[in-house]
Amino acid sequence: MSSTPTPSKTDSTALKVTIVLGAAAAVITVVRAVLRILEIAPNRNVPVAAHFEIPATMPIGPGGSDVDVIADRVILSVSDMPPITLWSLILAEVFYAIAAVAVVLCLCLVIRNIIRGQAFSAGTVGLVGTATLVLGVGWILVWLFTTMGANGGASALAGEPGLNVNAQIDFTFVFALAAMGALTSAFQIGHKLQRDAEGLV
C-alpha cells in the first residue's frame, strides 16, 4: 500500500478536532433542515425568500415617513402554495442537507487517511473527487429548487402565474466548488507523483 509520512502528534490532534467539528456541522445542518421542513410542510404562513428589483417604500425616514427604496431581497409569508412549490421548497432543504453531510463525511475520511499516512492513496483521491462532485451537483439542485420555490411562492401570493423573481447565485458555493476542484487536482498530481516515485524504487 502506498503511504506518505504521518503527521506529528500535534497535527494529528488538530486534524481529529477538525473531524469532530465537521461532524458537529453536519448534525447542525440536518437539524436546521428538519426544522425548516417542519416550517414548510403545514403550508401556512411559510417564510419564502424572494429577490426582486422593484421600487417600494419603507417607513425609515424622519419620524417614520416613507422613503423610496429598491427592494432586493424580501421574505414573503405564503400560505396555500401549490404542491409543486411546496415540494420545491422541501427538496431544496433535503438536497442541501444531503450534500452538506456527504461532503463533510468525505472530507472527514480524507483527514482520517492523512492521519494514517495515506494522503495520496487512490482512495483519498476518490474521496476528494466525490466531495467535489457532490458539492457541484448539490449546489445546482439546491439553486434550482430554491428558485422554483421562490417563483411559486411569489406567484401564489400575487394570485397570478408566471411571476418570476431574480435567480440568485450564491458565490460562496462557487468559491467552494473552485477550491474543491483545485484540491482534487492537487491530490491527483500527488497520487501520480507518488506512483512514479514508487516505480523508480
- pLDDT per residue, tens digit, the chain (201 aa), is 456 677 788 888 999 999 999 999 999 999 999 999 999 999 999 999 887 777 778 787 888 788 887 777 788 899 999 999 999 999 999 999 999 999 999 999 999 998 988 888 888 899 999 999 999 999 999 999 999 998 898 888 877 665 566 666 667 777 887 888 888 888 888 878 877 776 654
Does residue 3 lie within any of the structural domains? no
**Residue 44, pLDDT score:** 95
| Domains identified in the chain, total number | 1
Does residue 196 lie within any of the structural domains? yes
Give me the domain span that covers residue 194.
9-44+81-200
Does residue 73 lie within any of the structural domains? no
Which residues, at least 6 apart from 152, have a Cβ–Cβ distance to it below 8 Å? 81, 82, 84, 85, 88
Does residue 155 lie within any of the structural domains? yes
**Model pTM?**
0.82
Whether the Cβ atoms of residue 143 and residue 170 lie closer than 8 Å to each other: yes
Q: What is the number of alpha carbons within 13 Å of residue 31 lying toward its C-beta?
A: 6
